[in-house]
Amino acid sequence: MKSGQKGISLDPRAKLMLLICLSGPAVFVGDLRYMAGLFGASVLCAILCGADVRRAAPFLKATVVMLIPLFIVQCLFTRAGAPVLTIAGHAAVTDEGLKAGALMVLRILTVVISALIIATSPSRDYLLALIQCGIPYELAFMIMTAMHFLPLLSAEAADMVNAVQMKGIDLKRIPLRRKAGVYLSLMLPLLSRTLGRAEAMSCAMQMRGFRSRPQRTYMRRLILSVRDRIVIILAPLAAAAFLLWEKSVI
């Protein structure tokens, strides 16, 4: 196990396979019980791989807060099933609506939790893993660059929201329509900054001679251990069996 790393030490390719096998079935599962089991499996895998849940707690909290209105909308617009809440003689919430809302929340949380597995290794390891999987360097570099952009975009969006609140606009108290207008007005400067950063990075890469040589060498090479090979083989088999079981095929 690497120094300073907690949890089971896995090759980045094994972690990518775990991510695919956990988040992929979440898209197709339609039963709440199976979805809850898949969510529990994603939490267990993230803990075993040494994911820093405490450090990710603010992000998880923000995700849960974002999911609350989506859950409410899903409950209100799903009309099938027996009424659970009736207003003026009309069914406002049904049991199928509650199931659909819970299923959507668990589906998104499963994807988010399983993504924490990726955060347990340096990004350069994933770049090397993608290249050793046969992906062209340019494409692998673009994928890793996009992953680096996401935290920056999140930080800039948070700064913009804080700036709006410091101007006296309480986003928690204003009407929903006005709140949507505020968020839409923030999208344009955020998009403009993103395009500007992408253009600056493109110029810097060209000035440094990016891909000036057809071949690229690396100082080290990732080697799959027996444990990694077991995970890479068993994870997709388990995911396929889980989906077939959920669909009552087996």
| Residue 128 scores a pLDDT above 90 | no
CB atoms within 10 A of CB 39: 22
Task: Please state, in angstroms and as integers, the Cα–Cα distance from residue 92 to each residue in 97, 101, 105, following that order.
Answer: 9, 14, 20
Q: So what's the pLDDT on residue 150? A: 65
With beta carbons less than 8 A apart as the criterion, state whether 110 and 26 touch. yes
SS3 186: helix
pTM (two decimals):
0.70
Q: Classify 94 as helix, strand or coil.
A: strand
Structure tokens at 139: 């494409």
pLDDT at residue 248 greater than cutoff 50:
yes
Note the pLDDT tens digit of each residue in 195-227.
787 788 778 877 877 777 777 777 788 889 999
Higher pLDDT, 163 or 39: 39
* Maximum pairwise Cα distance, the chain: 73
Residue 135: strand, helix, or coil: coil
